[in-house]
Amino acid sequence: MLDVDAVRGDAPAAPRRVQIGDVLIDAVHLDELMAAVQQACRARTPLQIVTVNIDFIRLAQRSRAFRRVIHEAAWVVPDGRLVLWVSRLLGEPLPEQITGHDLVRESIRLARAHGHRMFLLGGMPGVAADVARRLERENPGLCVQGDDGGSFSADGDNEDNAALVQRIREFEADLLFVALGAPKQELWLARNLHATGVSVAVGVGGVFDTLSGRLPRAPRWMQVAGLESLFQLLIAPRRYARRYVLEDPPTLARVAWLALVTRVTRKRRA
């Protein structure tokens, strides 16, 4: 089990945590998180980051194993405007959204400055290797390896796990990005983080698909306006309609209602 205080080391002081649904989310800024990432790379203390959106909160409600992995992660950050909105309803605002894209971009910056090595795992066959080549081309000096990892089961078991872990170890990766979708990527990481020898690992969902150019990313104005999910829904309805139209809205309604009730009850007691 990860000891949160130990893995945070002398990184910035542990921030407050905000409970949304069954999940505790860190009120942390991206620059503070990246300071912790750099510290973990220097100290070689493995830590897992989980980026939580409404879908993660829905999945966590259904799966004890997933809840546990989120609870034991060193850092849990809000990846979604709706999560920020619920935290404001609760009266405990989270400072900013931190996405998988933000973490990849800032990690590239760190990796170039300090010589860290990056490993990309998952995605459709060949995509991670393609993204790795692109990132190396666009960022001279950067050292990245991509590997789709073969086939994974629904709870993140890999048919040839020992060989996969060995490839990551042999590459001597510092930073590991896993794109298998939630909860698979988080479950696989929690089980294999220590064995891979990496310092920092995070599940990034569909990030390789956009970095490889296979799926367009929302234009900047839509990202700024918090409309990235709407964009995804419009360009890939078969991939996202079930989640965004059917599955997530009841969870959003539940956590928003709970947040309001908690806030009103707290006010009455004060």
Q: Which residues bind ligand UDP (CB under 6 A)?
A: 122-124, 152, 179-181, 184, 205-206, 208-209, 239
Q: How far is the CB of 31 from ligand UDP (least distance, A)?
A: 25
Task: State which residue, 8 or 184, has the beta carbon closest to ligand UDP.
Answer: 184
Task: State which residue, 17 or 239, has the beta carbon closest to ligand UDP.
Answer: 239
Between CA 215 and CA 196 the distance in angstroms is: 29
Task: State which residue, 47 or 178, has the beta carbon closest to ligand UDP.
Answer: 178
Q: Residue 151, class by beta-carbon neighbours within 10 Å (0-12 exposed, 13-18 middle, 19+ buried)? A: exposed
Q: How far is the CB of 237 from ligand UDP (least distance, A)?
A: 12
Look up residue 219 and give its two tokens.
Answer: 């234009």
Task: State which residue, 21 or 206, has the beta carbon closest to ligand UDP.
Answer: 206
Q: How far is the CB of 35 from ligand UDP (least distance, A)?
A: 27
Please give the residue whose beta carbon sits closest to ligand UDP in the complex: 205
- Quick one: residue 138, left, alpha or beta (phi over 0 = left, psi -120 to 50 = alpha)? alpha
Residue whose pair of structure tokens reads 């405007």 in the numeric block: 81
Q: Is the dihedral of CA 174, 179, 181, 187 positive or negative?
A: negative
Task: State which residue, 26 or 228, has the beta carbon closest to ligand UDP.
Answer: 228
Task: State which residue, 153 or 265, has the beta carbon closest to ligand UDP.
Answer: 153
Q: How far is the CB of 233 from ligand UDP (least distance, A)?
A: 11
Cis preceding linkage at 140, omega within 30: no
Alpha carbons within 13 angstroms on the beta-carbon side of residue 183 total 21
Q: How far is the CB of 151 from ligand UDP (least distance, A)?
A: 7
- Cβ(121)–Cβ(179) below 8 Å: yes
Q: How many CB atoms lie within 10 A of CB 158?
A: 20
Between CA 82 and CA 255 the distance in angstroms is: 10
Q: How far is the CB of 13 from ligand UDP (least distance, A)?
A: 31
Give the residue ranges of DSSP H helices in 44-180. 54-62, 64-72, 81-89, 100-114, 127-138, 161-171
